[in-house]
């Protein structure tokens, strides 16, 4: 039976995953363009190897999309489109990794590597679920299409066009995505809401060149100070974002959701202990889960300028920069918020500096129905594998294309993920729990089964 087959192949699955993880497919880094392509080829070879048909690497204006399908179910059967991403985030700061990020290492129950949980491990587990059907039954219970992209971590800038250009190829009843965390190690969850993102860069220029801070200090605007002043005006002490009109279209959390989230066993003490912090600051009037899942935020992601070396240099710098991103919720769009952000920055800009605001990328928030056929199949599959009913959660991260699956393809998405919140996605020492990787393969296999019934 298929679950036994999955149990018998564990070590092969782990070896294969390691090969996938060795490819440094960092989509944001121009130097890695060749590696990103090599990774697309690796995925495409695997789709062919497991027995998918019509496999192809599709060019886009950026990194390629890999597609394959197996329409065993026939015309009357439901069609599932599995979506994932083969690109990964940058690895810096490299010195904080205990193993090199692209030399996957198993320690205890975890495999450590960049992309292990986000999202290569979770892509691989679904490909193994498909393979398990083909190897044990010679066919899939439903029609399955697979689309794995290489630009998710940079906001999927070319995927809407790909969807619109290939509507027939991608036509489906349900989209399946495994790129979200579970609530806890033994506690599966199905996510029905994701935040969006608006990612901006602010460049501040003071004098036309770096200056001696003794000669000039006192009569010249310092761009780092100016940037600090501007950043401090973006939020008040109660965590409210002060950009004009920022909350205009925000869809509020419902009473029902509030009640449901309040029942979840969120443990503030454990949360703080894991992060070694002594407080969980944020917008007044909302619980941590509400703030992380349903409220918009604004955070600086990077800031630089002036002297960064060891020791001291009395310089009055010419330039300062900050990367600032905002997580968005239903009702908001990256375009709307980018405009409001820029207008506000220009309004609060101190005298003596020039400011340039760049829109780096963004993504729409998304909500998915909780009562779809796919959700029912996913719930059943997770219950069977984990022995527990999955929690219904929202999440604070973004998967930009999920909104387009409903707006362009007209299909609801099921977010059945197998990560954990402490697996350090995007951080040094990213890891994936291998028990949940193998349980994920079983969930995937059963999901396809239950989509048929
Ligand atoms: N896997 C994440 C999305 C995610 C993270 C969902 C946490 C739920 C909880 C995905 O790969 C990701 O990191 N997306 C980016 C998208 C952005 C660059 C547009 C993100 O959220 O930062
Ligand atoms: Zn990610």
How does pLDDT run across 71-105, given as a tens digit for each residue? 999 889 999 999 999 999 999 999 999 999 999 99
Cα–Cα distance measured from residue 79 to residue 239, given in angstroms and rounded to the nearest whole number:
44
Sole residue written with tokens 């912090």: 277
pLDDT tens, residue by residue, 326-353:
999 999 999 999 999 999 999 999 999 9
**CATH of the structural domain 2-194+366-452, one choice from 3.30.428.10, 3.30.300.30, 1.20.58.390, 3.40.630.10:** 3.40.630.10
Task: Decide whether any atom of ligand 1 lies within 6 Å of the 115 Cβ.
Answer: no
Expressed in angstroms and rounded, the spacing between residue 88 Cα and the centre of ligand 2 is 7
For residues 100-119, give the mean pLDDT: 98
Peptide bond into 119 cis (omega under 30): yes
For residues 104-120, give the mean pLDDT: 98
Q: Is 31 exposed, middle or buried (0-12, 13-18, 19+ CB in 10 A)?
A: exposed
Q: What is the pTM of this model?
A: 0.95
Confidence (pLDDT) at 112: 98
| Cβ atoms of residues 368 and 230 within 8 Å | no
Residue 4 has pLDDT above 80, yes or no: yes
Beta strands in 184-308 (DSSP E): 189-194, 196-205, 211-212, 297-305
Q: Which numbered ligand comes closest to the C-alpha of 181?
A: 1
Confidence (pLDDT) at 359: 97
Q: What average pLDDT is seen over the chain?
A: 97
pLDDT grade, residue 270 (50/70/90)? very high
Task: Decide whether any atom of ligand 1 lies within 6 Å of the 193 Cβ.
Answer: no
Class of domain 196-250+296-363: alpha beta
Helices (H), strands (E): how many in the chain?
Answer: 15, 18
β-strand pairing of 391-395 with 189-194: parallel
The pick from 84, 87, 121, 179 for probing ligand 1's pocket by mutation, whose C-beta has the most ligand atoms within 8 angstroms, reads 179
Sole residue written with tokens 């509400």: 290
State phi, psi for 208 to the nearest 5 degrees. -75, -10
pLDDT tens, residue by residue, 293-339:
999 999 999 999 999 999 999 999 999 999 999 999 999 999 999 99
Confidence (pLDDT) at 224: 98
pLDDT tens, residue by residue, 145-192:
999 999 999 999 999 999 999 999 999 999 999 999 999 999 999 999
DSSP state of 5: H
Domain boundaries, the chain: 2-194+366-452, 196-250+296-363
Q: Which numbered ligand comes closest to the C-alpha of 395?
A: 1
Beta strands in 267-390 (DSSP E): 297-305, 315-316, 319-328, 354-363, 366-367
233 is written with which tokens? 């005006």
Q: How far apart are the first and last CA of the chain?
A: 18
Confidence (pLDDT) at 291: 98
- The CA-based angle 343-348-351, given to 5 degrees, is 120
Expressed in angstroms and rounded, the spacing between residue 72 Cα and the centre of ligand 2 is 32
Expressed in angstroms and rounded, the spacing between residue 222 Cα and the centre of ligand 1 is 35
Of 326, 261, 256, residue with least CA distance to 293:
261
| Cβ atoms of residues 284 and 240 within 8 Å | yes
Confidence (pLDDT) at 32: 98
Catalytic residue positions?
87, 152
The pick from 126, 332, 334, 397 for probing ligand 1's pocket by mutation, whose C-beta has the most ligand atoms within 8 angstroms, reads 397
Confidence (pLDDT) at 453: 77
- 3-state class of 380 per DSSP? helix
| Cβ atoms of residues 130 and 146 within 8 Å | yes
Helix 10-21 / helix 434-452 crossing angle, nearest 10 deg: 110
Share of the chain above pLDDT 90, in %: 99
Confidence (pLDDT) at 213: 98
């Amino acid at each position: 039976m298929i679950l036994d087959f999955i149990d018998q192949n564990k070590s092969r699955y782990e070896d294969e995953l390691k090969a996938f993880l060795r490819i440094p497919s960092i989509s944001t880094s121009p130097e890695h363009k060749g590696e990103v392509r090599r990774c697309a080829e690796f995925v495409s070879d695997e789709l062919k190897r497991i027995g998918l048909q019509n496999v192809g690497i599709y060019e886009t204006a950026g990194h390629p999309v890999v597609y394959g399908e197996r329409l065993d179910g026939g015309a009357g059967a439901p069609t599932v489109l599995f979506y994932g991403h083969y690109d990964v985030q940058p690895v810096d700061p490299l010195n904080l990794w205990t193993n090199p990020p692209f030399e996957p290492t198993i320690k205890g129950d975890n495999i450590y590597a960049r992309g292990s949980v986000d999202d290569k491990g979770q892509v691989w587990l679904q490909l193994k679920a498909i393979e398990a059907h083909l190897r044990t039954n010679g066919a899939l219970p439903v029609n399955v299409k697979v689309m794995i992209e290489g630009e998710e971590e940079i906001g999927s800038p070319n995927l809407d066009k790909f969807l619109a250009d290939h509507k027939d190829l991608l036509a489906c009843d349900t989209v399946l995505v495994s790129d979200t965390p579970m609530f806890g190690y033994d506690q599966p969850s199905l996510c029905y809401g994701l935040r969006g993102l608006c990612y901006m860069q602010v460049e501040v220029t003071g004098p036309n060149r770096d200056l001696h801070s003794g000669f000039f200090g006192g009569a010249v605007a310092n761009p780092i100070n100016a940037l600090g002043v501007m950043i401090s005006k973006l939020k008040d002490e109660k965590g409210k974002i002060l950009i004009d009109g920022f909350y205009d279209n925000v869809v509020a959390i419902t009473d029902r959701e509030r009640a449901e989230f309040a029942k979840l066993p969120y443990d503030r003490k454990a949360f703080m202990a894991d992060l070694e912090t002594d407080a969980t600051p944020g917008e007044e009037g909302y619980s941590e889960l509400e703030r992380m899942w349903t409220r918009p935020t604004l955070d600086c992601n990077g800031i630089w300028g002036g002297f960064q070396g060891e020791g001291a240099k009395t310089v009055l710098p010419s330039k300062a920069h900050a990367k600032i991103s905002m997580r968005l919720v239903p009702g908001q769009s990256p375009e709307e918020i980018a405009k409001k952000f820029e207008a506000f920055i220009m309004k609060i800009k101190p005298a003596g500096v020039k400011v340039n605001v760049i829109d780096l990328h963004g993504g729409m928030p998304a909500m998915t129905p909780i009562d779809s056929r796919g959700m029912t199949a996913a719930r059943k599959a997770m219950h069977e594998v984990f022995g527990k009913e999955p929690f219904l959660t929202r999440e604070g991260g973004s998967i930009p294309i999920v909104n387009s699956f409903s707006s362009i393809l007209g299909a609801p998405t099921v977010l059945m993920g197998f990560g954990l919140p402490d697996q350090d996605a995007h951080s040094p020492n990213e890891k994936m729990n291998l028990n949940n990787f193998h349980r994920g393969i079983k969930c995937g296999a059963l999901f396809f089964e239950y989509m048929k019934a």
